[in-house]
Structure 1
Amino acid sequence: MRISVIGCGYLGAVHAAAMAELGHDVVGVDIDAAKVSMLAAGKAPFFEPRLPEVLASALASGRLTFSTDLAAVHGASIHFVAVGTPQSKDSYAADLTYVDAAIEGLLPFLSEGDLVVGKSTVPVGTAERLSAVLAQSGTGASLAWNPEFLREGFAVKDTVEPDRLVYGVGDAADVAKLDEVYAQALAAGTPRIVTDYATAELVKVAANAFLATKISFINAMAEIAEVTGADVTALADAIGHDARIGRRFLNAGVGFGGGCLPKDIRAFTARAEELGRGESVAFLKEVDAINMRRRDRVAELAVQALDGAVLGKKVAVLGVTFKPHSDDVRDSPALDVAVKLKGLGADVVVTDPEGLDNARTRHPQLLYTQMTEEALRHADLAVLVTEWPEYVELDPVHVAEIVRGRHIIDARNVLDPAAWKAAGWDYTGLGRA
């Protein structure tokens, strides 16, 4: 099929490259000339495993092109809108400026039978409003909402081999068009849910709200464990054997971050209040509050580990991205912890395999190094905040030889406490005895 993708950020670039790799002819459009130039040259503007290879293959095939000119979408029959919906500057609500601009920009190039497909995460009710815009435009194009469920670090796989496909449609005829787009995934047995606009919009935010709630629940249990002497990891293992609960996303630690979960649950809360049903999701405010408290808790534990004498002490912060296998530092707990410790007077040195450039742009006051050992050398305290494999696999005996103080805070509960203690370390986990 001939497809256009409007917006070539994290979601759009991955979607465009993956669709071309599946055999479609794709043009990606973005107003950022530098980003478009990089993508056209086969360079991913962010770190995502497998994307460079898929991007290079799709470009070499001739099925993928990029442009800054919306007119390049002419001839495409399916138009995916994959622009950002950031949190508004003055409220928790989602900023739909880019979504509205994308739809308006597409109107002159739409033809009878074209399908505009929303991928962006939007407040419920947005698709109904945009469908009316298309209907009033006289273009003959229709709208569907097809939410994304990408996990950073696995985005290519999640696009090519999704665990489910959700179509929110206003016209049953549009189902066949989307089936053609996703023919390979459907042939492989991917479940497909066809529903209305509102349900499709709610699927993504409801999923994120549930995951955020599960993470904050176990972190709330960690807060109780810390004052009772219980071990939250053993607790999670025990309740995780209950099939109704499950073990995944029950890892206590410094909490969630990134460009989706925090802003999506806040936007969901704001939209529910607009609908007069704020009480229905009022618990999400506490979910958010618990999550933010865990960052403060890590800073408190750092102060305790240094016996209250933080000023001038070298603190090695291991990891700055919100999760491993990504360079994304948006709302990153790791970066937040580093900034808090710097504000307390510590000499903070941050290391990360992929996220240093993005972190340096946001917080140039911190010291950064690509070398893990350089960050750890003569450190008074080490804080593991992002569970990159190279940090999880550190040898406590070797590290003990290069630091000044054998104090480590495991803010993800991923290290072996016994091994670190045996090597002479003062080990502190979150919610662990």
Structure 2
Amino acid sequence: MLKRLLRRDLWTAGRVLAGLALLLLLLVLWRVSAVRGARETVVHSDFGAFWLQGYYFLTGRPLFDLPPHVRGPAYPPFAAMVFQLFALLPLPTSAAILYFVNLLLVPVAAYLTKGIVDKLHPERNRAAWPLVVAVILSLQFFLNNMNLIQLNEVILVLCLLGIKAYLDGNDGWAALAFVSAAAIKVVPAVFVGWLILRGRRRAALAVIPAAAACLALPVVFRGVDAGVRDLAQYQTKVLSQFERGHVISSSTNQNLGALVYRLTVPAPDDINRDYRPLFPTSERTAAAIYRTAFAVVLLAFVGNLVALRLRHAPLTAFELGSVFLAGHLLSGITWKAHLVTLLFTFYCFLSIRVRELGRRLRVFVYVLVAMMFVVGLTGRDLVGRVVQHRIDGYSVIVWTEILLFVGCLVFSQRVTREREVASGAVP
């Protein structure tokens, strides 16, 4: 191996220059990361909450008794166990490292996305532009994630690695990736559900030891008494509020509940004053509408998976896109930084050969693409605070998620039908 690396013909001038340019770029990115990380504190900071929860886990303190002005608590005990890695270093250093990792994960996520979609749909448009446009339109969400020094890119890459492992036949690794992602942030549990409903039996069974490990490891680290207390407090202090139907209607929240409440109920605690409810009603009525909408989306999602399984349908990228979107729509919290997953669904639709579609589907895809551009190119720095607040307040992003979700359901069934016809399984 060393001899191959030392071969003179391997080190051409072009490769040496490319290597030096890459090294310089990495140094610049690290410098940017260090400057950003130096500004982090535990107060009013997402990463500060990660670091502090990891520190509490490491030192044996209660995980969910956080001081005032610290964001959270919102993360399961397994996440706190992982956050110990942050607490081993000073907060600014750990923040800089995660910021740097997030910078590097953007091309990794794009590479994995392209590989997965191209493998599932070899007939698709493989030109470079659909991926480039998908990256550009989802970039504001990646930037938001980096600015907050959040973990959403890590979770996205974990889910993509889980999908890749499943496609490669590595069921155990797929289950481990999905369960680990869900144990850090609960929303990827939709992928665990998908694996059980649609995956191979071996993959579904692999979920059991993976989930048991994610529950048991924090207990082993902390001791039985503290470990059980952590799980109980996570249930009572975090999950229970959403189980009771609590909805965060702030314009920064981009899920189904926030859409319904912003349409119907004023939010006195919201900093966004540039919109008003379009259909004012009582909070009780809003809650009933939300429960109905939640049930419709959940039933549509599960029903589609069951229908595909009964037909023994092969996996499609649209089906996977519906999993990402169902997680965001049904979650209690969907900040913009969570929407880095739109890279995947944007690429699914942008790589469609639109000319091969019927007129109605073609119009639908054009509308979807137009909504993608509105969502992707209307950040506050581009259109100003007032326009951005109205886009957020009137839930343009959530409406786009809903349309994408419907599109994923339609195209997952359509692609399955086309493949059945092509194989002669149906007339």
TM beyond 0.5: no
Higher strand share: 1
Higher helix share: 2
